[in-house]
Amino acid sequence: MSVLQTSELNKQGVNVSVIDKLSQRIKQKGVPVETFVVLLTALLWVVLSFASPYFLTEGNVLNIMRQVSISGIIAFGVLFTILIAGIDLSVGSVAALAGVVVAKLLVLGLPIWLAVAGAMGLGIAIGLFNAFAIFRLGIPAFIVTLAGLQAYRGGALLASDGMSVSGLPKAFSAFARGEFLGIPTLFWTMVIIGLILHFVLTKTRTGRYLIAMGSNQESARRVGINISKMTFLAYTLSAALAALAGILLVSRLSVGTPTAAMAYELNAIAAAVVGGASLFGGRGSITGTFIGALLFVTIANGANLLGVDPFWQMVAAGVLIAIVVYIDNVQKRRKSGV
Amino acid sequence: MKKFTPILASATLAMSLVATSMSATAAESYVPVIVKATTSEYWQTVFLGARAAAKDAGVRIEELGAAAESDIAEQIAIMENTITRQPTAIVLAPTATDPLSGTVEAATAAGIPVILIDSAVGTDAYASFLSTNNYVGGQKGAEALAQCIKDKTGKAEGKVAYLTSLAGVESLTSRDNGFLDGMKAFPGIEVVDNRIGNNDMAQGLTNTLDIMSRTPDLVGLFADNAIMGIGAGAALDERGGNKPCLIAFDADEQEVNLLKDNIIDGLIVQDPYMMGYAGVWFAAAAGHGARLPKEIDTGVMVVTPSNYKESKFAGLLDPKKRQLGSFVGE
Amino acid sequence: MSDLLEIKNLRKSFGPVDVLRGVNLTLHKGEVLAVVGDNGAGKSTLIKHIAGVYHQDLGDITLDGSKVDFASPKEGREAGIETVYQDLALADELSVGANIFLGREPIKKLFGLFPTIDNQKILEETENLINRIESHIPPKAPNVAGLSGGQRQAVAIARALYWKAKVVILDEPTAALAVMERDNVVKLSKLLASEGVGVIYVGHNLVEILDVADRVAVMFQGQVVHVTRSEDTTQEELIKYMTGFSETKVA
């Protein structure tokens, strides 16, 4: 009724009624975190393109693309564990371990495809082990992957004697530095992986079952969804993508370091959550996660281009995470009807 | 290096006499070598030197350290456990200035001489302190950067930036301060930017690219450790085109590769091998009651693409090739 | 009316506690059979046996004339026994249609190659279904988290209806609902029965029970002690049986 009255009373009735409807919708359902983050990122890009003449230069946009690729790939994997109401804290360490292993294998003289396959195989094995410990042994995901955070980092240090592994073939480094149609190959890699995962998540039974499981594991079990399969899928995907990101990082840096990808698990979780994923499970998207990763990369890039004090940059990223987790909590409360 | 070699040589000479005369007990000596982190090439090189000294001096060493340089509590715990075991002497690279003071005093009070290497503590209750003068290293970095710019452009002028690996670490802060003060000698050069990389190579890479986006006419970069050096090197390699001068601290294997590829134009090389070697010798000597010089500078050198093949650098760039003559040093 | 489900001498002990002590009960096609009883009388245990959650120590369950012995609720569901639990068991983050079709999604091939969920079909079927049960659920709501308790109950019942369940067990379906929404659930239960489904309705509210049920079975101390047509009984009589003060039960 109020919509109708307002539009009748106002000369610009149509506009007002649209705004009115929108504000009603917001009152009823709240602003989805995704919308908020997309707007914030867009706003940041607009502001930065005015604030710095270098922001929208070709070189800088390519830098942002390369940078968001590796953190995006890790975040996509972590998103799948968050979707089933789990978590994967071990991705940074898995990336470092896979990176050191691929570098070691290359230095031993293995062909590139074999070295990459070996490191990827290790990542998959780690994911299967994580899922086994979580699902079969019943240890909480937080504990399993926190232990993994330590253990796989230790593995990376052991495999490398604590030193960086250099002397990699140029052809291996060439991949991460290459471009196709003017877009970095790293970015293509992320886009292709993202499209496939987006398709799986939104169009297939597997994606729907992951969301159902994270939303209400008991009801998913009752309708006959294979909870075990979904758990193994999510953790294996997470570790495999972390391994891939670790390999790509080595390709970009031309050196394998056991201390690489430190704290990347936090960035990945932050990207997924900022992109609308709920740490309580059942909610999240690939597009949102990409936007989340892009937002953090943009903040860091913008701060560098504007010469913002690095300490303030950390504070800004921290405040952003706090705000988004707060919104997530509000949503959870709304969901439980309080 | 000049002021260091004779002092160390004389100390070594004096000590080897002592060691020979007391060889029966020396064989049972036990010296823990506690580094900042067992996980970096730099500290592994310290261990290499320590092992060589252990063989030469006939002492048993134990290689200890936390996994990460930031883990101060872990190093304090290692120190406390070590003191309980009453070793002959302790070689310690303290991760933090003040937090480690208490354990160093406790060791000294328990009659265990402490030989500090690399970094200082906030007490003078130690037997000897062998270190690189990081401030001087930073100054040499500034000089090398200015020289490189001059070689490339014909004049020491333009904009430069520096990459800090971690904030609030004494040795890095000294390097940065030395670099900034060293740059004052070149009024044509302006330091326009500084980024902190959280000791993450990928962030060092990103920061370098962003610095160059922001300052397209940048002529020089200084990286204050190996991780930032390799990150910056990867960035310049990836970006291609006209590259600014890059001077980096340390001599990690990949840094040396980048130096050979002319991506890094100069390395500020410390002598971690000598710190480990001399640290253990001093520890053995102190265990026999020898008086040690309070402070020793193990020196820094500048290695460039044009001089890295000189034999005097071989052992510094690759510690496995290190050979010490009868008078130690090169 | 034919015998849809027949339970004979069903016994179950949990350790030393005899929870079911020889339950006999028959459910006809197209009727609402209410099961009432005090807490601990064995109602929940009984329906969990029917659904396949528990396994009896002794006794038989016969569905459509043949003995059944479910190893899991999934098997029970496949045989046509659908349970709508108190906690509703919907996936909050999925839409109405996705919940109704969860685990049994219609598939279409994308480019004749990749099996994808046919969301268009789900939406159409859901709209039909909602019209059929005359409910006011928004079929396009992105998820069921925002629905009221009654609407969620309706989704769960619609799911049972769509999948042509033979037996639908409603476990205290109105316990968490506002008074206004209870009538709707009663209406839906009758609708299910009119479609030929055998409905087992577990509840506490006797006014509601007498309204919804064709017959009422009273449980007391692990046995069905009284079965009656609802028009032949009163609240007072049911309470007597529920509390063990009936003339037959005085022993």
CATH of the domain at C195: 3.40.50.300
**CA A205 to chain CA mean position, Å:** 22
Q: Which pLDDT band, with edges at 50, 70 and 90, does C1 fall under?
A: very low
Number of domains in chain A: 1
What fold is seen in the domain B134-269?
Rossmann fold (3.40.50)
Kindly report the average pLDDT of chain C as a whole number.
84
Q: Say how far apart CA C210 and CA C229 lie, in whole Å.
A: 9
Nearest CA in chain A to C53: A222
Integer CA distances (angstroms), B291 to B18, B23, B26, B113, B284, in order: 12, 18, 17, 10, 11
Q: Is the pLDDT of residue C162 over 90?
A: no
- How many residues can be counted in chain A? 338
| Fold match, B4-132+271-299 / B134-269 | yes
| Rounded distance between C-alpha atoms, residue B299 and residue B88, angstroms | 27
C178 touches chain A (CB under 8 A): no
Domain extent for C79: 3-92+149-243
Q: Which of A59-68, B7-16, B293-302 has the lowest mean pLDDT?
A: B7-16
The whole domain housing A137 covers 32-333
Beta bridge partners of C169: C83, C200
Give the whole-angstrom CA distance, residue B138 versus residue B151: 20
The span from the CA of B274 to the CA of B269, in Å, is 12
Chains with ≥3 CB–CB distances under 8 Å to C? A
Residue among B120, B216, B119, B218 nearest B163 (CA) = B218
pLDDT one-digit tens code per residue, C95-134: 888 888 888 888 888 887 888 998 888 888 888 888 887 7
Beta-sheet strands, E only, within chain C: 3-14, 17-28, 32-37, 58-63, 66-68, 81-84, 107-110, 114-117, 167-171, 198-202, 215-220, 223-229
- Give the span between the Cα atoms of C27 and A231, in whole angstroms: 39
Chain-chain contact of C117 with A205 (C-beta, under 8 angstroms): yes
| Assigned token pair, A321 | 């995470």
**Sites in chain A below the pLDDT cut of 70:** 1-33, 328, 331-338
Q: Could you tell me if residue A240 is inside a domain?
A: yes
Which residue among A199, A219, A224 sits closest to C89, beta carbon to beta carbon? A219
The answer as to whether A3 is a domain residue is no
What rounded mean pLDDT belongs to chain B? 85
Specify if A169 maps to a domain. Answer: yes
> Any contact of C with B, at least 3 CB pairs below 8 A?
no
pLDDT band at B15 (very low <50, low <70, confident <90, very high): low
Confidence bin at B11 (pLDDT 50/70/90): low
Mean pLDDT, rounded, for B264-293: 89
Region of residue B38 (phi > 0: left; psi between -120 and 50: alpha; otherwise: beta): alpha
Q: Regarding beta strands B114-117 and B128-131, do their DSSP bridges make them parallel or antiparallel, or are they unpaired?
A: parallel
User: C110 contacts in A (CB within 8 Å)?
Assistant: 203
Select from 3.90.1170.10, 2.60.120.620, 3.50.50.60, 3.40.50.2300 the CATH code of B4-132+271-299.
3.40.50.2300
- Inside any domain, residue C76: yes
Euclidean distance between CA atoms B165 and B220, whole angstroms: 17
C37-96 confidence digits (pLDDT tens): 888 888 888 988 898 888 888 888 988 888 888 888 778 888 888 888 766 578 888 888
- C168: CB partners within 8 A, 6+ apart: C82, C83, C84, C157, C160, C192, C197, C198, C199, C200
pLDDT tens digits, one per residue of B206-251: 999 999 999 999 999 999 999 999 999 999 998 888 899 999 998 8
The closest alpha carbon to C95, from C69, C130, C61, belongs to: C130
CB distance B245 to B149 below 8 Å: yes
> How are beta strands B128-131 and B90-92 bridged, if at all?
unpaired
Q: Where are the domains of chain B?
A: 4-132+271-299, 134-269
The pair of three-digit structure tokens given for residue C178, joined into one six-digit string: 């506002």
Angle at A93 between CA A89 and CA A98, to 5 degrees: 130
Tell me which chain B residue has its CA closest to the CA of residue A258: B39
Rounded to 5°, angle at Cα C232 from C231 and C235: 85
Contact state of A216 with C110 under an 8 Å Cβ cutoff: no
Closest CA to B132 of B123, B141, B124: B141
Separation CA A34–CA A36 (nearest Å):
5
Any idea which residue has 């134009």 for tokens?
B265
Contact predicate B298/B270, CB 8 Å: yes
β-sheet with B301-303: strand ranges across: B189-196, B158-164, B218-223, B245-249, B266-269, B301-303
Give the residue numbers in B contacting A (CB under 8 Å), as ranges. 37-41, 43-44, 67, 167, 193, 195-196, 198-202, 205-207, 209-214, 216, 226-227, 230-231, 234, 237-239, 252-254, 257
Q: Is residue A145 in a domain?
A: yes
Establish if A245 belongs to a structural domain: yes
Q: How far apart are CA C30 and CA C219, in angstroms?
A: 22
The residues that bridge with B248 in the sheet, in sequence order, are B223, B267
Q: Structural domain tally of chain C?
A: 1
Give the chain A residue nearest B253 (alpha carbons). A166
Check: CB of residue A227 under 8 Å from CB of residue A122: no
**ipTM given for this complex:** 0.81
Cα C177 to Cα C189: distance, rounded to the nearest angstrom: 15
**Pair A288, A241: CB distance under 8 Å:** no
Q: Do A208 and C74 touch (CB under 8 A)?
A: no
pLDDT digit string, tens, across residues C137-149: 877 777 887 787 7
Would you state the pLDDT for residue A12? 43
